[in-house]
């Protein structure tokens, strides 16, 4: 049996995609699609009011990043993204310090929460503005203080929404999830591929 060979077809020129994000996790996930891209970090002030509808928050922040870069690189396709954790009507964004990370893990303990990621794909020269949002659910184990301290000792949590990363020692704290795993990590690749297809760039 002859194996199938997959080709990357791009109607946009190679290296004409920018990821407008400082997240190394998004960089790794996007690289897995095989699409050439560069990273440009947008120095924007993200909206992080925990009382805001999480879908609105992540959509607004993803658009802020993508729009800032797209305005300066008008010929280039720009992808922006933003992720938050949502529980009991409140968004849990990146913790400011270890104490806040502990508080977040205690709140998530034994509960199921939702992870939202907003996506914004832009190309100013083409007048292209595409947006999407993904949602997944994560269920935590019941965590005692020893487990919380062990997790914080092994994982840098200050750059992660909710104070955790499912891909880093997730077995210590997570009992299961539903929906896109890459969304929980920070970049829902299924949705990204759909946006790329709509923009004429397909994997």
pLDDT in tens, 40-81: 999 998 888 878 899 999 999 999 999 999 999 999 999 999
What's the CATH number for 15-202? Answer: 3.90.950.10
Q: Note the pTM of the prediction, 2 decimals.
A: 0.87
Q: What is the pLDDT of residue 7?
A: 33
Residue carrying the six token digits 């897995």: 32
Tokens of 166: 């499912």
Q: Roughly how many angstroms between the first and final C-alpha of the chain, as a whole number?
A: 24
- The pLDDT tens digits for 99-155 are 999 999 999 999 999 999 999 999 999 999 999 999 999 999 999 999 999 999 999
Q: What are the DSSP calls for 3-15, one per residue?
A: PP----EESSPTT
Q: Please say if 132 is a catalytic residue.
A: no
**List 82, 88, 131, 159, catalytic entry:** 82
Sign of CA dihedral 58, 59, 63, 64: negative
């Amino acid at each position: 049996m002859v194996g199938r060979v997959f080709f990357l077809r791009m109607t946009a020129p190679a290296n004409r995609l920018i990821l407008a994000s400082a997240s190394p996790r998004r960089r790794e996930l996007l690289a897995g699609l095989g699409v050439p891209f560069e990273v440009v970090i947008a120095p924007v002030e993200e909206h992080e009011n925990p009382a805001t509808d999480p879908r609105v928050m992540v959509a607004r922040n993803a658009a802020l990043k993508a729009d800032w870069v797209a305005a300066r690189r008008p010929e280039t396709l720009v992808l922006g993204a933003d992720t938050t954790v949502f529980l009991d009507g409140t968004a849990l964004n990146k913790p400011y310090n270890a104490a806040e990370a502990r508080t977040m893990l205690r709140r998530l303990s034994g509960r199921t929460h939702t992870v939202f990621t907003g996506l914004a794909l832009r190309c100013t020269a083409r007048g292209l503005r595409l947006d999407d949002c993904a949602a997944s659910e994560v269920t935590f184990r019941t965590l005692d203080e020893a487990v919380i301290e062990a997790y914080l000792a092994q994982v840098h949590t200050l750059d992660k929404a909710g104070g955790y990363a499912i891909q880093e020692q997730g077995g210590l704290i997570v009992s299961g999830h539903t929906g896109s795993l890459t969304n929980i990590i920070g970049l829902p690749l299924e949705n990204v591929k759909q946006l790329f297809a709509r923009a004429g760039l397909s994997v």
